[in-house]
Amino acid sequence: MGGELASVLGRLEFTWRLNYKGIRNPPAGRPYTNQRPPSDYFKTNILVDCMGFNPIGLRAAVEMCGVDRVVFGSDYGPIPYGIKEHAQIVEDVLRSSTERQQVFWKTSNRAFRLGLVDTDLVTRRFSPTAAVA
């Protein structure tokens, strides 16, 4: 969920504002070159995953970066906290089916150019007789 980014965003914003509006002589005489505040870059340049063990972190990640910048991820394997638990947190926090699909696969599809087609992959069912030919 972006690690500690959510907890330091306020400090980054404050320091950015000081550089542009409050410090006559910036450190080392060089002002920052970022023309936009850090929070703007979070919504355009950063992807975060939803691995974080609780709904509060996911809400913060979505608010900080936007739902279209959050991808589904887990530490399953080395950490015995399964994918089912992570999926449940996403489903509990994001009530909209559109937002859930965005996190579960659409953002990854776009960012990593996977080429998946939007055919409602989550709810598609196969009948037992269809598999027999």
Residue 125 pLDDT exceeds 50 = no
Range name among 29-43, 77-91, 114-128 with the lowest pLDDT average: 114-128
How many other CB atoms are there within 10 angstroms of residue 44's CB atom? Answer: 10
Residues 6+ apart with CB under 8 A from 86: 50, 51, 72, 73, 74, 76
CB-based burial label for 128 (10 Å; 0-12, 13-18, 19+): exposed
What pLDDT score was predicted for residue 130? 46
Copy the structure tokens of residue 72: 């589904």
DSSP helix/strand/coil, 105:
helix
Copy the structure tokens of residue 51: 């691995």
pLDDT, mean of residues 27-54: 82
Identify which has the larger pLDDT, 118 or 42: 42
The 8-class DSSP code of residue 29 comes to G
Give the chain's domains with CATH numbers: 5-120 (3.20.20.140)
What pLDDT score was predicted for residue 17? 83
Residue 100 exposure: Cα atoms within 13 Å on the Cβ side: 16
Residue 97 pLDDT exceeds 90 = yes
pLDDT, mean of residues 33-37: 81
Confidence of residue 67 (pLDDT cuts 50, 70, 90): very high
Rounded Cα distance, 65 and 6, in Å: 9
